[in-house]
């Protein structure tokens, strides 16, 4: 038995025993869906589900009001510069953020040495075998994320790549057409970030850009990209996932495309559901995001899109940035925020009056797996304990001290979120 495999066995099975008391099961694929039950977990396996379970005194007990268990959450957009610049964020620190955030799985999008070859994929897979949070890997669809030459997508899928993304780059129409046509041969899952080049933009082009004197980023950066993605997806009759949207025009375009039968799915970040450009009066560089925070009208459109199913998933868009490139003048700061550890609670707080708890779980549990062609975990006796546990009561204070990320660029520091997440991996 290799060292790597031995470490995996230890991490997978040498876990504590847990007893979760009076938790409501939110799993439409489970016979226990909607019931309030006790769940006993031993060495990573659900050994019993019932009422008033009795177990040994050695178990760890979670007994909280308004407690829920759901199929393990999956994030479809997390990144770290590993390999390449692990001091900013490593795969292990990313997984720790995910563990504390209640996630069971991530789609990892490396942005250091681009994952455009099999050796990088093997490196990532070796790094992740020891951890309790499952990492699926996205490879680049162009060599070096340069948008010039199609990468060896077929070979990398055989090596374990489950999707293809150039992360924050969007290639030309000619390049995207080649990627889509090539990907049809082996059912490649293509993830695209809808962002046209626009030099110097800092925040949403609107009243706040005028009042702050910062150069605005127009919505056409996103909407033109959305339209050409939709047009190409229709032409090649292929499915495409749009990674992030931020404005009402994008919601409208995707809603219309879905009604027309075009195979499009899309995501939104929790920060775009909680904040708008009006929160930038303090020039907090941790709220400098790409796509940028938009207007109140756009936020309302995003919430409506979540409610009617136009927006399929809520993704963390976890993007670590070092202090040097964040604690500086706003126009000099890099884009991005770390969100993975508090992504679910952020969405829970932002969507309280818009989505039911069950609908919110669709965006975190069921749809992400479906988009990747995977079966979500099922809460059942004798199955692996791949589920998430949270309470809608209580509070979680976000402090620098409790951040697991190696980076500090969280706009939530100093804030208190309603609800608590209970990690089941230790």
Cα–Cα nearest to 42, from 31, 53, 26:
53
Angle between helices 248-259 and 220-236 (to 10 degrees): 10
Q: Are 15 and 43 in contact (CB under 8 A)?
A: yes
Query: Domain holding 354: CATH number?
Result: 3.20.20.140
Cα–Cα nearest to 136, from 100, 171, 98, 101:
98
DSSP-based three-state secondary structure for 305: helix
DSSP-based three-state secondary structure for 322: coil
Looking at residue 185, its pLDDT comes to 95
Cα(108)–Cα(111) distance, integer angstroms: 10
**214 DSSP assignment:** P
Structure tokens at 3: 């060292």
Tell me the pLDDT tens digit for each residue of 16-29.
799 999 999 999 99
Quick check: is 413 in a domain?
no
Quick check: is 306 in a domain?
yes
Burial class (CB in 10 A: 0-12, 13-18, 19+), 296: exposed
DSSP-based three-state secondary structure for 6: helix
Q: Are 214 and 330 in contact (CB under 8 A)?
A: yes
The pLDDT of 237-263, averaged and rounded, is: 98
Domain that holds residue 270: 71-377
Q: Are 328 and 282 in contact (CB under 8 A)?
A: no
19 vs 424, more confident: 19
Asked if pLDDT for residue 112 goes beyond 90, the answer is no
Quick check: is 43 in a domain?
no
Tell me the pLDDT tens digit for each residue of 29-88.
999 999 999 999 998 899 999 999 988 778 999 999 999 999 999 999 999 999 889 999
Quick check: is 160 in a domain?
yes
Looking at residue 11, its pLDDT comes to 47
Cα(135)–Cα(125) distance, integer angstroms: 8
**Helix boundaries (H) for 67-116:** 91-100
Quick check: is 53 in a domain?
no
Looking at residue 314, its pLDDT comes to 98
Tell me the pLDDT tens digit for each residue of 173-184.
999 999 999 999
Looking at residue 2, its pLDDT comes to 39
Looking at residue 12, its pLDDT comes to 45
Looking at residue 265, its pLDDT comes to 98
Cα(247)–Cα(295) distance, integer angstroms: 8
Quick check: is 259 in a domain?
yes
Round the average pLDDT of the chain to a whole number and report it: 93
Number of domains in the chain: 1
Quick check: is 410 in a domain?
no
Tell me the pLDDT tens digit for each residue of 273-299.
999 999 999 999 999 999 999 999 999
Structure tokens at 292: 């940028």
pTM (2 d.p.):
0.95
Quick one: how many helices (H) and strands (E) in the chain?
13, 17
Cα(243)–Cα(351) distance, integer angstroms: 20
Asked if pLDDT for residue 15 goes beyond 90, the answer is no
Q: What is the CA radius of gyration of the chain?
A: 21
Asked if pLDDT for residue 214 goes beyond 50, the answer is yes
Residue 105: which H helix or E strand, with range?
Answer: strand 103-108
Looking at residue 111, its pLDDT comes to 80
Tell me the pLDDT tens digit for each residue of 333-365.
999 999 999 999 999 999 999 999 999 999 999
Quick check: is 10 in a domain?
no
Least confident span in 15-24, 134-143, 151-160, 384-393: 15-24
């Amino acid at each position: 038995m290799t060292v790597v495999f031995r470490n995996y066995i230890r991490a997978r099975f040498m876990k504590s025993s847990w007893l979760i008391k009076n938790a409501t099961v939110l799993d439409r694929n489970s016979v226990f869906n909607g019931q309030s039950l006790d769940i006993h977990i031993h060495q990573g396996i659900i050994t019993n589900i019932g009422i008033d379970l009795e177990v040994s005194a050695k178990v760890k007990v979670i007994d909280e009001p308004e407690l829920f268990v759901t199929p393990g959450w999956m994030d479809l957009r997390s990144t770290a510069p590993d390999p390449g610049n692990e001091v900013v964020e490593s795969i292990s620190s990313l997984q720790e953020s995910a563990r504390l955030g209640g996630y069971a799985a991530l789609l990892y999008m490396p942005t250091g040495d681009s994952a455009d070859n099999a050796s990088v994929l093997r490196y990532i897979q070796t790094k992740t075998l020891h951890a309790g949070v499952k990492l699926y890997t996205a490879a680049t669809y162009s060599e070096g994320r340069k948008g010039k030459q199609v990468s060896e997508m077929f070979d990398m899928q055989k090596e374990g790549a489950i999707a293809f993304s150039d992360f924050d780059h969007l290639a030309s129409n000619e390049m995207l057409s080649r990627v889509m046509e090539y990907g049809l041969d082996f059912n490649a899952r293509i993830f695209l970030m809808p962002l046209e080049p626009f030099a110097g933009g800092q925040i949403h082009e609107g009243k706040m850009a005028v009042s702050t004197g910062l150069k605005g980023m127009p919505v056409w950066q996103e909407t033109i990209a959305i339209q050409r993605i939709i047009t190409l997806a229709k032409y090649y009759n292929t499915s495409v996932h749009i990674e992030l949207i931020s404005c009402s025009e994008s919601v409208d375009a995707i809603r219309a495309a879905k009604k027309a039968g075009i195979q499009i799915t899309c995501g939104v970040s929790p920060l775009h559901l909680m904040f708008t450009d009006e929160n930038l009066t303090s020039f907090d560089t941790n709220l400098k995001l790409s796509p940028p925070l938009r207007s109140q009208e756009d936020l309302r459109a995003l919430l409506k899109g979540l409610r009617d199913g136009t927006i399929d998933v809520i993704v963390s868009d976890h993007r670590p940035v070092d202090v040097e490139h964040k604690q500086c003048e706003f126009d000099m700061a890099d884009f991005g925020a770390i969100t993975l550890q508090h992504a679910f609670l952020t969405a829970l707080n932002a969507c309280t009056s818009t989505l039911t708890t069950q609908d919110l779980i669709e965006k975190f549990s069921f749809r992400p797996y479906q988009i990747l062609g995977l079966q979500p975990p099922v809460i059942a006796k004798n199955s692996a304990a791949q589920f998430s546990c949270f309470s809608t009561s209580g509070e979680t204070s976000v402090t620098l001290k409790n951040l697991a990320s190696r980076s500090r660029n969280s706009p939530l520091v100093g804030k208190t979120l309603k609800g608590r997440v209970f990690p089941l991996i230790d």
